[in-house]
């Protein structure tokens, strides 16, 4: 697991890396930045080819990997689509996953591609379930010579059938049409608005977190879950599913997809089946609400395989990754501690242990284990960047800056990871040095839903560093358009205008920010600075004083960038 993504080690033309498994992608895909990072040649796609995803469509390119190693096998001349918004890694889609049977046991860190031999039409592929028979549900939508090569299945939402698709690269998601068919009131008090749903498309979509009475898959029923609804179809097109059955469900279930039998075998593995974007305190992982009575004809299902004990370091590490994805940070610390004890020379295990320790609030232990990870894997950009942030959190700016410079040398310049490095530069007082980091990233992400945030980061860095403010003004206006007038972007614009001495315009923009976010301490402090520049000394002093009440560090942060009354 990599966060909530099912990751798998692969080798691309001799280069070791990790890709993510995405059963919802009809074809394997990577971003332009990832292709460049891997040194792949990018070619034009067939004329007229368009790709659709959450957030709209894009015109793709293609690349071919000469030697692609995965799961002990080496495949030759493997094609990948290139383009769309940057997911953060290469995605292995259905052109590789769905040509054979697929077994998802993500709760135990395993996804297998299986080619059954012989006559298996009557075989029970739920072989792992010894204590009870597995659930089954039929596969839908045969394509080409009767072959089923996707992951479509029927699901009942509040008793109404919809067509769903297993998507290991997404959260569970329902289309607006399916929600309305299930009788969900999207204008009701229980529908919590969500602003930024995203996928491969260039735009963010809106939606809601809603409570359902039931979700049934085969003979399994989940009562009172909270799920996410997108405002419109999940993707455009006549064959689009009405529901994505996402990574939360796969984390809590063991599934075997049989192509010959047109069946999915599955059992409950334990944990929470759905991700609730309206519950940030739960790290997005939600479960069904408490049920006082079990409906007639139903019974509680025991988890299958939940008591399995890891036998080696790799199994403990996989257990830790799953526990961390489920927001069980203490359990993850225990699992990774076993892993590093069994394999003390494995730097990645120390890295993951440090991430779990940080989630529990044990920052001292996290720093110690990050230092061990960096000593074992000094060329790992993720470890070095995390180490730089850890030093900064411990108020060790010299060590943080040194680690940040090492991370800069290791991170691909076009990677979105650079934006985290730029944020750290700003925190360390080097905003002007952050400005040139953005150009390579922006060039390779012009069709990305993150483009507005990238322009805003460039504008903000320029404003803080007081460099290239004319260019920054243009960048701010681009970001404002792409972000639909987001207050954070307008705040960046106001800072640039302040730096240019356009105090009336800066004040106007700070007023607009504070009208939307009246307790934004930085904007309030900077409005006070602007008012003082305009001769409104009393009001300026009041705003700055009120800002310090909201955030005691705001004056020092401003002073660090020579922003003083």
The series of mean pLDDT values per 10 residues for the chain, 565 residues long, is 81 94 90 95 87 79 95 90 90 85 88 86 92 91 52 95 93 95 93 85 86 94 94 84 94 93 93 79 44 66 78 92 90 97 97 96 96 97 97 96 98 96 97 97 92 97 97 96 93 98 98 97 98 97 97 96 88
- Neighbouring CB atoms inside 10 A of 3's CB total 13
Q: What is the CA radius of gyration of the chain?
A: 25
Q: Is 151 buried (19+), middle (13-18) or exposed (0-12) by CB count in 10 A?
A: buried
The listed CATH number (1.10.10.10, 1.10.1200.10, 3.40.50.300, 1.25.40.10) that belongs to domain 411-565 = 1.25.40.10
CATH class of the 7-108 domain in this structure: mainly beta
CATH class belonging to 127-286: mainly beta
Residue 469's SS3 state is helix
Query: For residue 534, what are its two tokens?
Result: 């305009």
Q: Is there a shared CATH topology between the 7-108 domain and the 411-565 domain? A: no
With b for 16 or more beta-carbon neighbours within 10 A and e for fewer, the 261-300 pattern comes to bebbbbbbbbbbbbbbbbeeeebbbbbbeeeeeeeeeeee
Q: What is the DSSP string of 408-451?
A: HHHS-TTSTHHHHHHHHHHHTT-HHHHGGGHHHHHHT-TTSTTH
Contacts by residues 190-194 (CB-CB < 8 Å, ≥ 24 positions apart) = 191/229, 192/278, 194/228, 194/277, 194/278
For the chain, what is the total number of helices (H) and then of strands (E)?
A: 20, 25
- 252 CB neighbour count, 10 Å cutoff: 23
Q: How far apart are CA 78 and CA 83, in angstroms?
A: 16
Considering the entire predicted model, what is its pTM? 0.86
SS3 12: strand
Alpha carbon distances (Å) from 410 to 36, 56, 371, 437: 15, 33, 17, 13
Residue 484 token pair: 């639909």
Q: Could you give the residue ranges of the DSSP H alpha helices within 283-362? A: 313-325, 329-342, 347-360
DSSP 8-class letter at 208? E
- pLDDT of 146 reads 42
The token pair at 559 is: 């002073």
Contact 80, 28 (CB under 8 A): yes
- Asked if 197 contacts 265 with a C-beta cutoff of 8 angstroms, the reply is no
DSSP state of 71: T
Q: What fold, for 311-394?
A: 1.25.40
Cβ atoms of 251 and 271 closer than 8 Å: yes
CA distance 136 to 138: 7
Which structure tokens are listed for 127?
């072989």
How is the chain split into domains, by residue range? 7-108, 127-286, 311-394, 411-565
Any bridge partners for residue 8, and if so which?
Answer: 19
Q: For residues 146 and 149, what is the distance between their CA atoms, to the nearest angstrom?
A: 9
CA distances to 95, 118, 124 from 133, rounded to whole Å, are 31, 23, 9
């Amino acid at each position: 697991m990599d966060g909530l993504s099912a990751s798998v080690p692969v080798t691309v033309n001799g280069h070791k890396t990790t890709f993510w498994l995405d059963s919802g992608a009809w074809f394997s895909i990577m971003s332009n930045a990832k292709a460049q990072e891997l040194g792949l040649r990018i070619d034009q796609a067939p004329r007229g080819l368009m790709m659709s995803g959450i957030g709209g469509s894009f015109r793709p390119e293609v690349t071919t990997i000469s030697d692609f190693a995965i799961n002990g096998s080496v495949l030759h001349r493997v094609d990948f689509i290139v383009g769309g918004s940057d997911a953060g890694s290469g995605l292995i889609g259905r052109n590789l996953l769905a040509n054979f049977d697929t077994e998802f046991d993500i709760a135990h860190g395993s996804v297998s591609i299986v080619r059954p031999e012989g006559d298996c039409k009557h075989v029970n592929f739920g072989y792992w379930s010894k204590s009870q028979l597995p659930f089954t549900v039929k596969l839908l939508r045969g394509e080409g010579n009767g072959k089923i090569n996707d992951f479509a299945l029927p699901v009942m939402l509040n008793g109404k059938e919809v067509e769903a698709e297993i998507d290991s690269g997404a959260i569970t998601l329902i289309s607006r049409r399916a929600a309305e068919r299930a009788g969900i009131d999207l204008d009701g008090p229980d529908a919590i608005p969500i602003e930024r749903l995203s996928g491969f498309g260039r735009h963010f979509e809106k939606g809601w977190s809603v409570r359902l009475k039931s979700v049934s898959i085969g003979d399994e029923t989940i009562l009172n879950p909270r799920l996410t609804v997108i405002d419109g179809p999940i993707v455009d097109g006549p064959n689009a599913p009405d529901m994505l059955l996402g990574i939360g469900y796969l984390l809590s279930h063991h599934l075997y997809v049989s192509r010959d039998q047109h069946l999915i075998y599955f059992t409950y593995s334990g944990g929470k089946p759905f991700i609730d974007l309206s519950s940030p305190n739960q790290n997005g992982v939600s479960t069904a609400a408490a049920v006082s009575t079990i409906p007639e004809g139903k019974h509680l299902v025991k988890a299958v395989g939940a008591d399995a004990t890891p036998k080696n370091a790799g199994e403990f590490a996989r257990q830790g990754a799953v526990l961390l994805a489920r927001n069980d940070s203490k359990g993850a610390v225990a699992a990774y501690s076993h892993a590093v004890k069994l394999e003390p020379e494995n730097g990645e295990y120390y890295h993951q242990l440090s991430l779990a320790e940080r989630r529990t609030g044990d920052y001292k232990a996290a720093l110690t284990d990050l230092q061990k990870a960096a000593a074992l894997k000094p060329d790992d950009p993720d470890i070095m960047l995390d180490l730089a942030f850890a030093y900064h959190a411990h108020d060790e700016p010299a060590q943080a800056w040194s680690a940040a410079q090492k991370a800069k040398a290791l991170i691909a310049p076009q990677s979105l990871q650079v934006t985290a490095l730029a944020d750290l530069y700003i925190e360390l007082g080097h905003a002007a040095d952050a400005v040139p980091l953005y150009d390579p990233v922006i060039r390779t992400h012009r069709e990305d839903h993150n483009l507005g945030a990238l322009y805003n980061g460039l504008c903000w860095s320029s404003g803080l560093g007081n460099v290239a403010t004319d260019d920054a003004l243009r960048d701010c206006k681009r970001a404002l358009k792409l972000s639909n007038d987001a207050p954070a972007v307008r705040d960046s614009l106001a800072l640039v205008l302040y730096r240019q001495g356009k105090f009336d315009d800066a004040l106007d923009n700070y007023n607009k920010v504070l009208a939307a976010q009246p307790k934004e301490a930085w904007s309030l402090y900077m409005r006070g600075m602007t008012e003082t520049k305009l001769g409104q000394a009393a009001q300026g002093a009041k705003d700055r004083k009120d800002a310090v009440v909201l955030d005691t560090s705001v004056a020092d942060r401003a002073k660090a960038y020579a922003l003083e009354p």
